[in-house]
């Protein structure tokens, strides 16, 4: 038997609870992992509360991340005792996920845990930090360098945003952090932000073309915020878009694209090819300062995820939440 958060909708209503499951209830897979730590992400909170159509089959163990140790493997790529981690691949949505003490998954979904990171540190990074690194790599791939000008990070007090601020600062970029939570200003400055911006002016409809300011941006909000960020990019600027916390619409125009030659780069972390995943985690283990990681990390128990999920959706959680699934 093992403990897990289980999301059910039969009998009604939709609910999530902490339950004891039998190993025989795990789905098919060629690797079984004893999980040490998982995380609570925005998508996990939607799955637990039912506030978004995240779960695609029921019952479901949510949790899009986990790190742990291989317990059994019928795949030659992994042996018992190997330290591994997982992000995405529909785990926690269509396949039992990481908010549990045990998981059985496909070997190709795993990557080795970088030697420089503990399982807890890897989950303090989690999908949020992995996504932030993919965004930074996209800016670099499109030629954005520290000397080109300021980089804007929206939703900066959240999981992706906070790690993006820390990463960009470490890499020598001048970072402006946008947030709707002014009380988090000192927290963001401690992560490396040199300027704190109120999100309100960006959250409403703006001009098709605004004053040039940003050399690049990482956006987790979408909707009017993303449109306004695009409108205020400098000539040739790049925005890496990875979220829709403010809405999935994009009420912008083609003007900044055809008059300033900007680039809107979409970032997907769920189905990302393995080489990109391995490189992103290699970069994270090198470029993210662990002491800053601790500044933005809170640890909770498996049972606490149920209450904390609602708080996360209400914008009352900053940084990263690590889940110790064994307490």
Residue 185's domain is classified under what CATH number?
A: 3.40.50.720
Mean pLDDT (whole number) for 141-170? 96
In this structure, are 45 and 133 located in the same domain? Answer: no
Asked if residue 280 belongs to a domain, the reply is no
Q: What is the pLDDT of residues 38-57, one digit of tens each?
A: 999 999 999 999 998 999 99
Asked if residue 122 belongs to a domain, the reply is no
Q: What is the pLDDT of residues 208-219, one digit of tens each?
A: 999 999 999 999
Q: Which long-range contacts (CB under 8 A, 24 or more apart) does 137-143 make?
A: 137/276, 137/279, 137/280, 137/283, 138/238, 138/240, 138/265, 138/267, 139/216, 139/218, 139/238, 139/240, 139/265, 142/216, 142/238, 142/263, 142/265, 143/236, 143/238
Question: For the chain, first and last CA: distance in Å?
Answer: 15
Mean pLDDT (whole number) for 157-185? 95
Asked if residue 229 belongs to a domain, the reply is yes
- Predicted pLDDT of residue 276: 96
Reduced to 3 states, what is the DSSP secondary structure of residue 120? helix
In this structure, are 149 and 258 located in the same domain? Answer: yes
| 291: pLDDT strictly greater than 80 | no
Asked if residue 275 belongs to a domain, the reply is no
In this structure, are 232 and 154 located in the same domain? Answer: yes
Closest CA to 242 of 117, 131, 111, 118: 131
The secondary element (H helix, E strand) that includes residue 255 is: helix 255-259
Asked if residue 304 belongs to a domain, the reply is yes
Of 221, 244, 266, the position where a domain reaches its end is: 266
Q: What is the pLDDT of residues 183-202, one digit of tens each?
A: 999 999 999 999 999 999 99
In this structure, are 313 and 199 located in the same domain? Answer: no
Asked if residue 98 belongs to a domain, the reply is yes
In this structure, are 39 and 92 located in the same domain? Answer: yes
More reliable by pLDDT, 322 or 291: 322
Residues pairing with 17 in the sheet? 6
Residue 89's domain is classified under what CATH number?
A: 3.90.180.10
In this structure, are 317 and 233 located in the same domain? Answer: no
- Predicted pLDDT of residue 22: 97
In this structure, are 134 and 104 located in the same domain? Answer: no
**Tally of domains in the chain:** 2
In this structure, are 167 and 68 located in the same domain? Answer: no
- Predicted pLDDT of residue 319: 84
In this structure, are 173 and 57 located in the same domain? Answer: no
- Predicted pLDDT of residue 293: 84
In this structure, are 93 and 170 located in the same domain? Answer: no
Q: What is the pLDDT of residues 238-281, one digit of tens each?
A: 999 999 989 999 999 999 999 999 999 999 999 999 999 999 99
Instruction: Give the confidence band of 306 by pLDDT, cuts at 50, 70, 90.
Output: very high
In this structure, are 41 and 95 located in the same domain? Answer: yes
Q: What DSSP letter does each residue of 43-103 carry, written as one string? A: HHHHHHHTSSS---SSSB---SEEEEEEEEESSTT--TT-EEEEE-TTBTTTB--SSBSEE
Asked if residue 276 belongs to a domain, the reply is no
| 10: pLDDT strictly greater than 90 | no
The one-character DSSP state at 270 is S
Of 266, 284, 313, the position where a domain reaches its end is: 266
Asked if residue 287 belongs to a domain, the reply is no
In this structure, are 242 and 169 located in the same domain? Answer: yes
What domain range includes position 306?
A: 2-113+296-324
- Predicted pLDDT of residue 184: 92
Q: Is the pTM of this model over 0.85?
A: yes
Closest CA to 216 of 146, 273, 278, 314: 146
The one-character DSSP state at 315 is T
Q: What is the pLDDT of residues 90-127, one digit of tens each?
A: 999 999 999 999 999 999 999 999 999 999 999 999 99
- Predicted pLDDT of residue 315: 83
């Amino acid at each position: 038997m093992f403990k897990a958060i289980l999301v059910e909708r039969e009998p009604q209503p939709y609910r999530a609870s902490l339950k004891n499951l039998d190993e025989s209830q795990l789905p098919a897979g060629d690797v079984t992992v004893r999980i040490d730590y998982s995380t609570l992400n925005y998508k996990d909170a939607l799955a637990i509360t039912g506030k978004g159509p995240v779960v695609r089959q029921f019952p479901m163990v949510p949790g899009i991340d986990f790190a742990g140790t291989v317990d059994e493997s019928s795949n030659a790529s992994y042996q018992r005792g190997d330290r591994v981690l997982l992000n995405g691949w529909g785990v926690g949505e269509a396949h039992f996920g990481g908010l549990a003490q045990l998981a059985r998954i496909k070997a190709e979904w795993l990557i080795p845990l970088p030697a420089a990171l503990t399982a807890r540190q890897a989950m303090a990074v989690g999908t949020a930090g992995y996504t932030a690194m993919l965004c930074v790599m996209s800016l670099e791939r499109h030629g954005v360098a520290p000397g080109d000008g300021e980089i804007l990070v929206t939703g900066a007090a959240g999981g992706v945003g906070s790690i993006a601020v820390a990463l960009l600062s470490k890499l020598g970029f001048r970072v402006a952090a946008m947030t709707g939570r002014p009380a988090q200003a000192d927290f963001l400055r401690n992560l490396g932000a040199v300027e704190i911006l109120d999100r309100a002016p960006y959250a409403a409809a703006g001009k098709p073309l605004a004053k040039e300011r940003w050399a690049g941006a990482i956006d987790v909000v979408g909707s009017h915020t993303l449109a306004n960020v695009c409108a205020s990019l400098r000539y040739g600027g790049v925005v890496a878009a990875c979220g829709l916390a403010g809405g999935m619409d994009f009420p912008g125009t083609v003007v900044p694209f055809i008059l300033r030659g900007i680039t809107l780069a979409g970032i997907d972390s769920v189905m990302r090819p393995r080489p990109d995943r391995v490189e992103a985690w290699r970069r994270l283990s090198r470029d993210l300062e662990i002491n800053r990681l601790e500044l933005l990390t809170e640890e909770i128990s498996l049972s606490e995820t149920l209450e904390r999920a609602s708080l996360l959706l209400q914008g009352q959680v900053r940084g990263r939440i690590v889940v110790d699934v064994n307490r």
